[in-house]
Amino acid sequence: MTLTQLEIFSVLAKVGSFSRAAAALNITQSGVSHAIKQLETELGVRLLNRDGGTTSLTEVGARMLVRTNDILQQKEALQQEASMERGIARGTLRIASFGATSSLRLLPELMDRFQRAQPLVEVQIDEAVDDVVIEWLLERRVELGFVVLPEDRFETLRLATDELVAVLPASHRLASKSAIKARDFHGMPFIRTSAGSGPQIDRFLNTGDAIPQTLFRFEQLSSMMGFVSRGAAITIAARLALPDPPAGVVYRNLQPRWPREIALAALSFDKLSPAAREFVSVAAKVTRAAADSGR
C-alpha cells in the first residue's frame, strides 16, 4: 500500500468516476484503475461499486475512506511541520463552507488576513449545504468547516451571530408589520430552498403550528429573490446570506427573534496541521476584534 494509492482512492471517492479522477490527478484513467485494483487486492476487500462510468463506495469502502483521509491529513500536517522548521509554512488547507453566510460574509476577511500571514499555503474551499459540510468533516475530506451551533461532534470556535428573517414582496400585506410571527406564514405561498437552515425554519414555523403552502423549491438565491419580488411567494432565510434587498423586496424580523450561531469547526483543534491552526488563530483574532468594536 502506498500513499499514492490512498490519494487516488480519496480523489476517486470524491469525484465519483475514473475519468474525472484521472483528470483531477493529471494521470491516465488506466493508472487510476491499476492503483485501485492494487489497493483492493492488498486489502482483500472491494472498496468501490462500479456502474458504467461512475463509482460509489461500498460499506467497507466508506469506512476505509475515513481512515484514508485521516492518513492523508496527517501526511499533510507532517510536511507542513517540516516546512515550518525551515522558516515558512507550505502546503494545502482544505475548508468547507456552507454558502453565502460563510463564503461571502466571513471568509473574505479571514482569507485576506490568513494569506498575508501564510502566503505559500494554498487554501482550497468547497461549498455545500450544512449536512454535506458535516459529512466532509467527519470523513476527514476537509480539516475545517463552517457549522451552525449547537454541534457536539466537533470542537468549535464561535464566529458570528446570524438570524432568520422573513423575505417578503414590498407590496405584501405582511410587509407593513415590523415583525412576523410563525402563524403569519400559515397557508401562504412559500419558497423552500436547499440551504441548510431548513430545519431551523421548520422549528420556527412549528412554534405557531404554521404550515405554509410550499409552491416552489429553489437552489439558487437569485431564483428565490426573483419570485419574491414578483409577489409570487414569501420565504424565510438567514440574514447574513442575503444581499441588500432588491427592488420590490423587504426583510422583516421574526417574532420571536430566531438567531443562529455560526462557528468554525474541526474534529480536534489539537490535531490540526500548522496551516489549519494558523487559520483558527486568525479567525479567533478577527472575532475578538469584532466583539471589542461592538462594545
Per-residue pLDDT reduced to its tens digit, 7-43: 999 999 988 989 999 998 999 989 999 999 999 999 9
pLDDT at position 89 is 73
pLDDT tens track for 234-250: 999 999 989 899 999 99
pLDDT tens track for 122-153: 999 999 888 899 999 999 999 999 999 999 99
Task: For residues 206 and 65, give the distance between their C-alpha atoms in angstroms, rounded to a whole number.
Answer: 38
pTM of the model: 0.79
Nearest to 283 by CA among 148, 93, 112: 112
Per-residue pLDDT at 88 exceeds 90: no
Task: For residues 54 and 211, give the distance between their C-alpha atoms in angstroms, rounded to a whole number.
Answer: 40
Per-residue pLDDT at 251 exceeds 90: yes
DSSP letters, 98-112, are -SHIIIIIIHHHHHH
Terminus-to-terminus CA distance in the chain, angstroms?
56
**Amino acid (one-letter) located at 253:** N
In the chain, what are the domain boundaries?
162-259
Classify residue 173 by its DSSP letter: G
- By the 8 A CB rule, do 217 and 254 touch? no
Confidence of residue 196 (pLDDT cuts 50, 70, 90): low
CATH topology (fold) of 162-259: D-Maltodextrin-Binding Protein; domain 2 (3.40.190)
- By the 8 A CB rule, do 55 and 29 touch? no
